[in-house]
Amino acid sequence: MPKQSPVPDALDKPYFDALNEDRLVIQNWTCCQRLQHPPAATCGGCGSNQLQHMSWKQVSGNGTIYSYGVVYDSPIAVLQADQPYNVALIELEEDPGVKMLSHLPGRAVDDVPIGAKVKVIFETTPATGQKVPEWQVVS
């Protein structure tokens, strides 16, 4: 489903670069052994901004559907043509506290099994070619 292309900045460039190589990496704060998404300039656990505590950890790309909604009235122009569409919250296998959004490509509208296993895929966004993570239900 066509979506806006996210524009990387200095902080999150490693995340977006990895996506373009079909790898999912998550910001990892070693001070607290804490995965964090979206990435931020400080550790959400202890507030550290020491870069030696920050790394990027490649994850399996396995996840579970936590919940979802179905969007009928989006303010985002590029998504309107595909309304209604699913938006699911995916929790990562490595840390269910880390959530990512997904349109669940291939899944019928409002047919979303909460608790089902999903696997990451990498979708190219039209404007810049930047890839973003998407998730598909594992049958």
Give the pair of three-digit tokens for residue 26: 């998550």
**Given the rule CB under 8 A, which residues bind other proteins?**
3-7, 9, 37-38, 44, 66-80, 84, 87, 89, 97-99, 101-103, 110, 114, 125-128, 132
- CB-CB neighbours of 28 under 10 Å: 21
Q: Which does 99 bind (CB under 5 to 8 A by kind): Zn ion, other proteins, none?
A: other proteins
Exactly one of 15, 29, 85, 135 binds Zn ion (CB under 5 A); that residue is 29
Task: Using the minimum distance from each CB to other proteins, give the nearer residue, 9 or 21.
Answer: 9
Q: Which amino acid is at 115?
A: G
Query: Residue 37 or 119: which CB sits closer to other proteins?
Result: 37
**How far is the C-alpha of 125 from the C-alpha of 3, rounded, in Å?**
6
Whether residue 112 contacts residue 86, with contact meaning beta carbons closer than 8 Å, is answered with: yes
| Candidate ranges 15-23, 48-56, 58-66, 95-103; the one touching Zn ion (CB under 5 A) | 48-56
Number of chain residues interacting with Zn ion (CB under 5 A): 7
* Out of 45, 96, 106, 113, the residue judged to bind Zn ion by CB under 5 A: 45
Q: Which does 44 bind (CB under 5 to 8 A by kind): Zn ion, other proteins, none?
A: other proteins
By three-state DSSP, how is residue 81 classified?
coil
- 63-87 exposure pattern, b = at least 16 Cβ within 10 A, e = fewer: bbbeebeebeeeeeeebeeeeebbb
